[in-house]
Structure 1
Amino acid sequence: MSNRHDFICTLCLLLGILLSAAPAAAQMKGGWLPITPEDLSLKEVPGVPGAHAVVLYRERLTDDVESYETNYYRIKILTEEGKKHGDVEILYLKDTESVRDIKARTIRPDGSVVEFDGKIFDKTVAKTRGVKFYAKAFTMPEVQAGGMIEYKYRVVRDESRLYSPYWPLQSEFFTRRVKFSFRPVLRGLAIQWTAMHLPPGNMPKEKGDWYILELENVPAFEEEEYMPPEREMRMRVEFSYARQFEKNPEDFWKKQGQELRDTVEGYIGKRGGIANAESQITAGAASPEEKLRKIYARVQQIRNLSYERERSEKEAKKEKLKENNNIEDVLKHGFGYRREIARLFVGLARSAGFTASIVHVAERDDHFFHKQLQDEYQLDAEVALVHVGDADRYFDPGMPNCPFGLLAWQKTEVPALKPGKDGGTWISTPAPASKDAVTERKAALRLTEDGTLQGKVEFIFAGLQAVRRRREAMEKDEVQRRKDMEDELKDRLPSSATVKVESVTGLEGSDAALKVEYSMEIQGYAAATGRRLLLPTSVFHLSKVHPFLHAQRKYPVYFGYPSRDVDDITIELPANYRIESLPQGRKIGSNVLSFEVVRENQGNKLRVRRSLALEAYYFPADYYPSLRRFYDEVMAGDDEQAVLRTGEAPPK
């Protein structure tokens, strides 16, 4: 169920502009809004100079009673660059939705109409949390600056499911008028909504069985680099279903805690097969810690269905995976979803004598937890809490290739519910630390007299940095994995660089670091000027763009997790060249942000050691000026050059 909920939230966010509704249809000739002189004459958006397009009208109607949704929008193209929006993608989930009745037309600047009669293609566009998004894609005809594009469609959904709407009221465009409507299923259920960032006095209104919200002059949503999840920053309304909502949210979550406890404990239970398996798994362990490590390693071997590529209908029918009804089934079948694998770990740990519990957490990668929103699906993941020695420790067995004792970053420092008979206890998972996300870059390079730099490079990813890359690699084939790894280095180098991956180790498993070895060559790396060569000293940061170019910022800065980068580079100089001048080292920062670069003249070699540490990952917007100044210093340090001079024999 959580995957379904994740999909609905993320789908709405990715679509950005979802439209159309039955109440307005009666006013439309042929199902389209009238083309007005005002729409035709519009040439710019007041207060938004340079806008390439504007949404004149968009409407979305969701009917859970009839299990469908209709969408409509009209966009005015203002510039040549805005013509790209004539390429349309309608996202959907193939297993539970179908997109029907797509109609589209282009309105020329003179008001004449060109009906769309082209081909509609199916394509895969994105994947998140194991859910794959498909799209109906098509290109509008004769899109022109000064004209309009208009399309509408219907989404039919699985009648056995409820789809709590999420209304993303902002899109990438300024919107002149927008309308959202929702009819919930109320048979034995209650509905609740929560609004975020709406203008004062603008809230959904109940009209009969419907909830309706109409707004005018909605500003475009402007993305910023390293911002918190878009869903948190957008103007939005979220709906949720429950059997009963409570006046006090604490009472709602208390009931959820009781229900979650019953569900989890019923799934884990006390089973003889688990006890027998545990004794075999932990055989030979010399300490409680070693016992738990053996259990963790065994559970990580379970085939994790949550992170596999989506199987075709033919493949699924051929494989015929059995349903897991308890943790003994998970162990026997050798596969399970991430929640099932976490529960198996807890069951085996209990059998080995540990006090262990499942803790329900709210992941923070695409949304934050809001206790006032009484929606059980906010707690969208499970981790294990085990008492080891004299301390409680957290584990993430449901995340493939996650090291023992580490949580995936999105599950760190988040609200967590530890269920109990009385409803349970709210706790917080541990905060992440930079030591848990380290990237090392090592290089042994040689500079030739013509300025070419070549040699061997090694990237070492540990902790969360390795988990993230392993997770991304699971969805790709060997060719794409290798390309991604090449790009990992290539994107840091000048465009003239050639890079080859020589070896990869640690892509499977969890305890060892992920290591990638490269060979590389950069022609013209050092610039000749007379008898001198100008040598950039920060090899891996020359193509880096300042992450915070703008003087002002609207949203907080959100890196996701603390991290530490460590570079160690040795460059062998050409014969008869010596270092004439070398920039002084730099050391700046605090206990939150720190940067240091040390350059050493080692005779016929230059050694550069650089470290950058972020001990925090969330910075309020009012901290932005200080953060920007820090990165100004980092960029200045990375831009410095050594001067090499020829004509003299190297010192003996």
Structure 2
Amino acid sequence: MYKPILFALVVICQLVQAQDTSYSSLTLPDALKENANAIVRERDYEVKILSQKAFTLKKREVVTVLNEKGMRNLDLSENYSPSLKINSLSVVVYNALGNEIKKYRQSDFKDHSVSDGFSIATDDRVLYLDYTPIGYPFTVVFESEVKSTNTAFLQPWAPIGSYYESVQKARIHYLYPDDLKVKVKEINFEGHTIQKEESAGKIMYSIENFKAEKPEDYSPPFYDIFPMVRFALDKFNLEGVEGNADTWPSYGSWYYNSLLTGTDELPDATVVKVQSLVKDAKTNVEKAQKIYEYVQNKTRYVSIQLGVGGWKPMLAKDVDRLGYGDCKALSNYTRALLKAVGVESYCTIIYAGKDTRDLTTDFVAMQGNHMILALPDEKGGYLFMECTSQSNPFGYQGSFTDDRYALLIKPQGGEIVKTNDYNNRKSTQITTGTVTIAEDGSMRGVMLRKSAGFQYSNSEGIELKSKKDVDEKYKEEMSWINNLILEKYKFVNDKKAVEFTEELVISSPDYVKKSGQYQTLEVNVFNQTHTIPTRYRNRKYPFEIARGFYDEDTIIIELPKGYKIESLPESTILEDKFGEYRLSLTLLSPEKIEVKRSFFMKKGLFEKTDYENFRKFREQVARLDATKVVLIKA
């Protein structure tokens, strides 16, 4: 009869012992669990710079995953390549009590090529652990050490990895020899308690007890909010090519002389061909347009990342022969073709993506993830060419590389410039149309819409879609129209004017809502916005309208015979620092009304104290866009 008691005592002793371990999830502070899917118990990096040509990086990360979504916070991988060697790699998994479940050595990791889906050649590979948990919470201890000969890229410190992640302790420690200078750029430190220790040959940053945060509507990009430290050497090594980054002019000069010089040679036959192609062009811009279209028709984009080829373009003559290349290769190939017809242009390094991310202009270092081509225009500025696109109009960037700081690589050195923007009233959508309402409540509408600037890209590629896909697009876009039928459509993509035109004929058998002798009609047929930003009791961050635009709509609505409008709403004007909205209804005849609507949103970064007013502004816009009138029998 003593065995059950003895067994219970053993279990209790094991539980107590487990709770005393440093890997128990039970001892985590409640404050760090709030809003968290995962908690970083420890994130410790040590970077030891051995020379201009080598450094080692030791990582130790202890992460407690609280639920299934927290698996996104777990990175159990390490990259390697001919210039990046893995010295050691291991993972140990612990259960909620802190008891060890499983230990994994480097031989347990899977080996895979690093491919983006477009790469035809890459020597980058990754070792990763494909771990499936048996329950939550659990804790992982990840440890690795790598050695790199590429000192052009040093490990940054981003202690907060994502939203919904708490950080109990994070640290980065740099050690470097006296003959090398480590440059440091601290970003987004305001509002955070970050410790810094610095002495000869050493620098260390740390943060403790950072509570998980939720994303907020219209927040600036993550990298513009959370703290980060960037590190760089004035003198570095890139795949065996030594360089310096003291100033942007000197960096640009190094890049041009070390990575671009000698890559622009073309076959004689190609030179003759393109010179004939542009013989009637009168300006450099006209020549460039013909060359750009030639490249679009001849080449396609693929990714090639072999050694220094990750940064040095492949030879222009090879692109000419093969008909493909990555962003660097295609930009450089276009540059070579323009040079062959006497037009100067410049390869341009940039951060590409839908978020307008700038190069850090006051921190000279290897930056960017993309290359485009800059052409001096006749007004003293630049036209920018996206050479990887087979469909972009000449000089059009869209949201991929617009409105951000970039680096021109010139023979005489680097130059920071800002790419063109399509903000505010440069980005337009002008809609005209007629709508006929039948007595049975059905509707038939004819719409003509012209989009330019940023909004040009809203319909990019639609002319190539199937009828089914086009139907689905407009049913989703005009979701307020019940049983929408797309009877006819026609698209005109004017690449010269950079304007996209949509001509639609639509109908709905029950657009008007009936109630006895009354009929309710929504007057804004073609362009409604229903998005209302989320309400926050205590908003933490500023908010950003990333891109401005201007919409203008004019619709003539013909009412069914024998009906009239009970009353017309008064014209409305909303004006605020965020933009302007106007709506007016005019009775042209007893059975015909004109609806005029305009909506201007202004790009900008605003204080968090302005957010509630912005939310109310958008709420009013959504309400006015759903304006209804009542039809009664005359």
TM-score by length of 2: 0.72
Residue of structure 2 aligned with 1:233, choices 216, 225, 230: 225
Does the alignment pair 1:527 with 2:527? no
Other-structure match for 1:547: 533
Residue of structure 2 aligned with 1:464, choices 437, 454, 464: 454
Cα shift at 1:394: 1.4
- Relative distance call for 1:183 and 1:569 in structure 2 (3 A) is same
CA shift digits 1:233-256 (9 cap, x unpaired): 1122333355269xxx99432320
Q: In percent, how many aligned pairs have the same letter?
A: 16
Residue of structure 2 aligned with 1:342, choices 306, 313, 331: 331
Does the alignment pair 1:253 with 2:239? no
Does the alignment pair 1:639 with 2:631? no
Other-structure match for 2:567: 581
- Where 2:247 maps in the other structure, the secondary structure is helix
Residue of structure 2 aligned with 1:194, choices 161, 185, 195: 185
- Relative distance call for 1:53 and 1:265 in structure 2 (3 A) is closer
1:310-349 counterparts in 2 under 5 A? Answer: 325-349=314-338
- Where 2:31 maps in the other structure, the secondary structure is coil
- Relative distance call for 1:259 and 1:463 in structure 2 (3 A) is same
Root-mean-square deviation (CA), in Å? Answer: 5.3
Other-structure match for 1:12: none
Letter matched to residue 229 of structure 1: P
Deviates most, 252-261 or 419-428: 419-428
Cα shift at 1:218: 0.7
- Where 1:267 maps in the other structure, the secondary structure is coil
Cα shift at 1:567: 3.4
Residue of structure 1 aligned with 2:545, choices 544, 559, 562: 559
- The count of residues paired between Structure 1 and Structure 2 equals 581
Other-structure match for 1:57: 41
Other-structure match for 2:301: 305
1:32-431 counterparts in 2 under 5 A? Answer: 33-35=22-24, 38-39=27-28, 44-45=30-31, 51=35, 53=37, 55=39, 57-61=41-45, 69=59, 71-75=61-65, 77=66, 84-85=69-70, 90=75, 104=93, 106-107=95-96, 111=97, 115=101, 140-143=133-136, 148-153=137-142, 164-170=154-160, 171-173=162-164, 175=166, 177-181=168-172, 191-198=182-189, 202-203=194-195, 205=197, 213-243=205-235, 251-262=246-257, 263-268=259-264, 272=268, 275-285=271-281, 289-305=285-301, 325-361=314-350, 365=355, 367-378=357-368, 380-388=370-378, 391-400=380-389, 401-409=391-399, 411-420=401-410, 423-431=413-421
**Distance in structure 1 (CA, Å) of the matches to 2:317 and 2:611:** 51
Task: Kindly indicate whether the alpha-carbon contact (under 8 Å) linking 1:123 and 1:137 is maintained by their aligned counterparts in 2.
Answer: no
Letter matched to residue 579 of structure 1: I
Task: Kindly indicate whether the alpha-carbon contact (under 8 Å) linking 1:342 and 1:384 is maintained by their aligned counterparts in 2.
Answer: no
**Distance in structure 2 (CA, Å) of the matches to 1:68 and 1:594:** 54
- Relative distance call for 1:641 and 1:261 in structure 2 (3 A) is same
CA shift digits 1:385-414 (9 cap, x unpaired): 3243x5443122425233233344454443
**Distance in structure 1 (CA, Å) of the matches to 2:195 and 2:549:** 41
Task: Kindly indicate whether the alpha-carbon contact (under 8 Å) linking 2:57 and 2:147 is maintained by their aligned counterparts in 1.
Answer: yes
Task: Kindly indicate whether the alpha-carbon contact (under 8 Å) linking 2:542 and 2:605 is maintained by their aligned counterparts in 1.
Answer: yes
Cα shift at 1:544: 1.4
- Where 2:24 maps in the other structure, the secondary structure is coil
Does the alignment pair 1:432 with 2:422? yes
**Distance in structure 1 (CA, Å) of the matches to 2:205 and 2:468:** 48
Letter matched to residue 39 of structure 2: V
CA shift digits 1:131-184 (9 cap, x unpaired): 9999977653344xxxx3323456797966666333332332362512244678
- Relative distance call for 1:414 and 1:585 in structure 2 (3 A) is same
Ranges in structure 2 where 5+ consecutive residues have no aligned partner = 1-16, 49-54, 104-108, 238-243, 307-311
Letter matched to residue 261 of structure 1: Y
Other-structure match for 1:9: none
- Where 1:371 maps in the other structure, the secondary structure is coil
Residue of structure 1 aligned with 2:599, choices 612, 622, 628: 612
Task: Kindly indicate whether the alpha-carbon contact (under 8 Å) linking 2:481 and 2:511 is maintained by their aligned counterparts in 1.
Answer: no
- Relative distance call for 1:594 and 1:344 in structure 2 (3 A) is farther
- Relative distance call for 1:219 and 1:34 in structure 2 (3 A) is closer
Ranges in structure 1 where 5+ consecutive residues have no aligned partner = 1-27, 317-322
**Distance in structure 1 (CA, Å) of the matches to 2:541 and 2:156:** 21
Task: Kindly indicate whether the alpha-carbon contact (under 8 Å) linking 2:358 and 2:406 is maintained by their aligned counterparts in 1.
Answer: no
CA shift digits 1:203-233 (9 cap, x unpaired): 4557999865442221334423233221111
**Distance in structure 1 (CA, Å) of the matches to 2:76 and 2:27:** 31
CA shift digits 1:247-281 (9 cap, x unpaired): xx994323202113324454336975564233222
Letter matched to residue 438 of structure 1: T
Letter matched to residue 595 of structure 2: V
Task: Kindly indicate whether the alpha-carbon contact (under 8 Å) linking 1:89 and 1:136 is maintained by their aligned counterparts in 2.
Answer: no
Letter matched to residue 288 of structure 2: L
Task: Kindly indicate whether the alpha-carbon contact (under 8 Å) linking 2:251 and 2:413 is maintained by their aligned counterparts in 1.
Answer: yes
**Distance in structure 2 (CA, Å) of the matches to 1:424 and 1:114:** 54
**Distance in structure 2 (CA, Å) of the matches to 1:123 and 1:459:** 48
- Relative distance call for 1:302 and 1:90 in structure 2 (3 A) is farther
- Where 1:234 maps in the other structure, the secondary structure is coil
- Where 1:301 maps in the other structure, the secondary structure is helix
**Distance in structure 2 (CA, Å) of the matches to 1:535 and 1:184:** 71
Letter matched to residue 345 of structure 1: T
- Where 1:268 maps in the other structure, the secondary structure is coil
- Higher-Rg structure is 2
Task: Kindly indicate whether the alpha-carbon contact (under 8 Å) linking 1:86 and 1:139 is maintained by their aligned counterparts in 2.
Answer: no
